[in-house]
Amino acid sequence: MTWTLVLVLAAGAYACKVTGLVLIGSRRLPPVVTRCLALVPAALISALIVKDTFSTGTELVLDARAAGVAAAGIAAWRRAPLIVVILVAVVVTALVRRAA
């Protein structure tokens, strides 16, 4: 990846954000759209986690990463602090890889 590509992508992202501000301006969005937009970041990060957990290149795989994510999910569900969730994922993934 070159710096030119990085700068072009950054300019494109900025243009998309500015376009939204210019088109919408000071108008208020309907409440249903506002609620949906609030859910986009969580959906995006979830999709990235699932993709990175269950794929290598173009292949679907089930390996130690899945156990780590599952353990992290349980720790998060039990309302553990973020650093504990991360450490649980790391330790479980390492233990499963070592056992294999």
Shared domain for 46 and 67, answered yes or no, is no
pLDDT at site 22: 81
69: left (phi over 0), alpha (psi -120 to 50) or beta: alpha
* H helix runs in the chain, sequence order: 3-24, 31-54, 64-77, 82-99
56 within 8 A of 73, measured Cβ to Cβ = no
| Residue 25 pLDDT greater than 80, yes or no | no
Shared domain for 72 and 28, answered yes or no, is no
Q: How far is Cα 88 from Cα 72, in angstroms, rounded to an integer?
A: 6
Q: Which amino acid, residue 95? A: L
Task: Indicate the number of domains in the chain.
Answer: 2
**Is residue 6 domain-resident?**
yes
Shared domain for 30 and 69, answered yes or no, is no
Shared domain for 12 and 40, answered yes or no, is yes
Rounded to 5 degrees, φ, ψ at 62 are -125, 105
**Is residue 31 domain-resident?**
yes
| 75's tokens | 């720790």
With a CB cutoff of 8 Å and minimum separation 6, the contacts of 85 are: 72, 75, 76
% of the chain with per-residue pLDDT over 70: 100
Give me the domain span that covers residue 24: 1-51
- Helix (H/G/I), strand (E/B), else coil: 58: coil
pLDDT at site 28: 84
Q: What is the pLDDT of residues 46-56, one digit of tens each?
A: 999 999 999 98
Shared domain for 2 and 47, answered yes or no, is yes
Shared domain for 14 and 35, answered yes or no, is yes
Q: What is the pLDDT of residues 83-96, one digit of tens each?
A: 999 999 999 999 99
Q: What is the pLDDT of residues 4-24, one digit of tens each?
A: 999 999 999 999 988 887 887
